[in-house]
């Protein structure tokens, strides 16, 4: 009988990390990503992404919904090593709903002092927990750019 193993169904980038972490603890694991997360391929979406990046100084904060949102936002717009310098130079906070997104922000060069997120021991990691950390940073009229993905073929109705 084969030993039990964990099947990690997260997207490829996260699955590889989890498989490695589980293996380091002696738990056999294999990646079986059930969803693919890729950069936007639509020229219209790419242009919108480039415009949002170019206008980032107009925002009080950039709120990233996931680590993938971080990587795709910065990978398509400029060299990640300069990201932290650019955000701190124009005084933009980077908001993260959890530790995975905060880690992605650090990986692209955002200094830890410019990242706001729920505490590592928070009861939950989501936008509500993040809001408890950042609500005092926002004044009426301030703008926040929410960086998120979109499923292929699905269009916003609002």
Higher pLDDT, 21 or 50: 21
Checking if the pLDDT of 82 tops 50, the result is yes
Checking if the pLDDT of 156 tops 50, the result is no
Say what the pLDDT of residue 158 is: 42
Q: Enter the tokens of residue 119.
A: 């505490």
Residues 6+ apart with CB under 8 A from 136: none
Say what the pLDDT of residue 77 is: 58
**Averaged pLDDT of the chain:** 82
Q: Enter the tokens of residue 94.
A: 């980077």
Residue corresponding to tokens 């009080």: 60
Of 52-56, 89-93, 106-110, the range with the highest mean pLDDT is: 106-110
Say what the pLDDT of residue 116 is: 96
Q: How far is CA 22 from the centre of its chain?
A: 22
Lowest-pLDDT range of 3-12, 48-57, 74-83, 122-131: 74-83
Residues 6+ apart with CB under 8 A from 27: 5, 6
């Amino acid at each position: 009988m084969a030993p039990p193993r964990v099947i990690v169904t997260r997207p490829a980038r996260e699955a590889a990390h989890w498989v490695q972490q589980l293996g380091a603890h002696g738990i056999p694991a294999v990646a079986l990503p059930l969803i693919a997360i890729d950069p936007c391929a639509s020229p219209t979406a790419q242009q919108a992404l480039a415009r949002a990046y170019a206008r980032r100084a107009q925002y009080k904060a950039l709120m990233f919904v996931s680590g993938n949102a971080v990587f795709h936002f910065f990978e398509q717009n400029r060299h990640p090593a300069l990201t932290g310098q650019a955000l701190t130079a124009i005084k933009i906070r980077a908001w993260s709903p959890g530790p995975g997104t905060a880690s992605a922000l650090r990986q692209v060069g955002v200094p830890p002092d410019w990242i706001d997120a729920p505490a590592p021991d928070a009861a939950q990691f989501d936008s509500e927990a993040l809001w408890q950390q950042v609500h005092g940073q926002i004044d009426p009229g301030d703008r926040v750019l929410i960086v998120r993905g979109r499923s292929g073929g699905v269009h916003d109705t609002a």
